[in-house]
Structure 1
Amino acid sequence: MVNYREIIKLKSENFSNAAIAVNVGSSRNTVAAVIKLAETHELSWPLPEDLSNHKIERMFYPERGHNEGYKLPDFEHIHNELAKPGVTLTLLWAEYCEKCEQEHSIPYQRTQFCDKYRSFAVTTKATLRIKHKPGEVLEVDWVGDTIPVMDAALGVEVPAYVFVATLSCSMYSYVEAFPDMKSHNWIEAHVHAYNFFGGSTRILVPDNLKTGVIKNTRSELILNRSYHEMAEHYGTAVIPARPVKPKDKPSAEGSVKVVETWILAALRNRKFFFI
């Protein structure tokens, strides 16, 4: 759906039609038509809070209110309701069907209802594409799940911990298992990853685990001494993710999920005796 509210707002701030088109993801012809219709209907910013994009579309294009007899859902209302705890698309579709029955109109089936909502969400959700330079950032992490290895001497299974290093630009990853997550294995994992990639990156993004980062606050960053010396040796800058902010290293988090499914889960029925 066209973001009518944003177009009217940006026009009131004297943005050009071309700039508005880029900002809202619509063509310049659409932007020009919306601005002309807004002038015709004497709509100016600020608009009432309850005047949604869906309502503006009905005002501008009354013939679009129904599609071949089907009642068009209020997607903005659905979007807001989904933010509430326990609310799902299935529940909202059931409520939508009930409302259609009361109004003697035809509802969309659940699949079409969900598809149309997702199309609406894609066009209205604010996103930012992050551009990565090749070889600039390496994100590292331990996989949350472990893989069992049989200790022949003790006759019991012990956990092996899986290290993941991912290049942010290409998503090319290096994965290796270790008997524990202590400092020497943490450093060794980085060395093996750099050897595998054939070089080091300008920036290294780890989590805030104690083997790498002693303290990470707004005003102070203290790295583990061995980790700091390793970074200096390879000429890379360590910029840890913010505490409780896994989105700071999304490439590594994505690779962790791949490892959990296509390595750990895929090997769940096999027994190993060596790392």
Structure 2
Amino acid sequence: MAEHYGTAIIPRTPKDKAFVEGSVGVVSTLILAALRNRQFLSLDELNRAIWEKLADFNHKPFQKKDGSRASDFEEEKLFLLPLPPNPFELAEWKTATVQYNYHISVDRMNYSVPYEYIKQKVDVRLTGSAVEIYFCGTRVASHLRLYGRPNQYSTLKEHMPPEHTAYLQWNSERFLRWASSIGENTAAVVRVFLTAHKVEQQGYKSCMALLKLSDHYSVVRLEDACRKALTFSPSPSLKSVQAILKSEQDLLQTEDVDPESVPQKAHRFTRGAECYRRGKK
């Protein structure tokens, strides 16, 4: 508090206590005692009466020196500092560990920290309106304090790792536009991913993984794999598309290969018809 108001706290001697208590006694006698028999009908009326008596007390001449409390204050007022723009807030300090999702949990709320500090212990300063996070004495993050429903998240984009930031640049419209540029079957699979969860954003990871498949395989093969997956199920999964591409099942359709012309591998335990002819052991 002293740092906030630009002042210093200096311990006083026991003799100063009597001086302060003496001033309290004088104020009680000249103000409170003078008003003890008056009746007030509102708090404002009482405060006005106290201010009047306080003005009289401050302008009352000193007994042992010239001047009054009011005249002394006029001289000292020139050395007073202006008040800070924001009032002082009581703060509570806590210690937290940055989790793998680059957030800390304080009072059942979650606040983001730059991902470089994952697994590090940080100091957290809590006030009524803000949460400040310090590492080795340096503030690394600041958030407005969350209230209400537990387990809320306050996440800043600049705290995210690059791969997480990429998700913010995508939405359902962009995913569908990209999928439609490849083909109607790829767009159909993306629609399945986007509608498979209660929250649309939960399907972004699968859509992004499907997008990455076009880097490893051609867009033609991806479209054919999606077509093949839709023949198996109206709601194919990402794994089914990946399995089709990995096993090259999409190439059978792309190259118009007759499945019957593909040689079938005999099972190693199959004996064949010759073993069952009569007269042969």
TM-score norm. by structure 2 comes to 0.22
* Higher share in helix: 2
TM-score norm. by structure 1 comes to 0.22
